[in-house]
């Protein structure tokens, strides 16, 4: 996959960002977590406990796709931080989205230990997109895409999960 991206990254206007992306997909992205790396455990959210078959099916799918692994009889990683799972209904009746509650527990949140500037998503406005197309001139094309489960496609650097 990285080899397919390289020609586009070489032409990217921000070569520092391009190198970061190429390195991340080649060796894994570092998780910018600055909190204590201590083991935690918890129970799943009420929604997950009430719909265990939905949760099991979602986890089985993630395992089959190679995006998660387990279950384990004992923690596979020293200082494994476990956050609860839950499910929320989608617009289509009977369909659910699996959530990983990283804002738990209060006072020791995973999300609190990650600088928002390092993990915030900022979308371009329609005005910005139109301006870019106008700058490119006649024949310029514009596309929008949504990569399903995009965050699950990012490899994690081994230093963030190996003892």
Contact 74, 32 (CB under 8 A): no
User: Could you read off the pLDDT of 32-78 as tens digits, one per residue?
Assistant: 888 888 888 889 999 999 999 999 999 999 899 888 888 888 888 88
- DSSP letter assigned to residue 98: E
Q: What percent of the chain has pLDDT over 90?
A: 36
Q: Which of 6-10, 26-30, 134-138, 149-153 has the lowest mean pLDDT?
A: 149-153
What is the pLDDT, as a whole number, of residue 70? 83
- DSSP letter assigned to residue 29: B
């Amino acid at each position: 996959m990285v080899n397919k991206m390289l020609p586009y990254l070489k032409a990217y206007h921000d070569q520092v960002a391009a190198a970061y992306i190429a390195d991340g997909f080649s060796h894994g992205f570092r998780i910018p977590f600055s909190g204590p790396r201590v083991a935690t455990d918890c129970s799943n959210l009420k929604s997950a406990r009430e719909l265990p078959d939905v949760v099991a099916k979602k986890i089985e799918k993630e395992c089959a796709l190679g995006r998660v692994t387990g279950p384990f009889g004992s923690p596979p990683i020293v200082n494994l931080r476990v956050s609860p799972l839950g499910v929320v209904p989608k617009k289509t009746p009977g369909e659910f989205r699996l959530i990983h509650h990283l804002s738990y527990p209060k006072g020791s949140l995973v999300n609190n230990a990650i600088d928002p500037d390092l993990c915030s998503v900022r979308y371009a406005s329609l005005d910005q997109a139109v301006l870019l197309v106008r700058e490119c001139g006649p024949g310029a094309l514009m596309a929008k895409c949504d990569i399903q489960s995009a965050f699950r496609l990012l490899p994690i650097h081994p230093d963030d999960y190996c003892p």
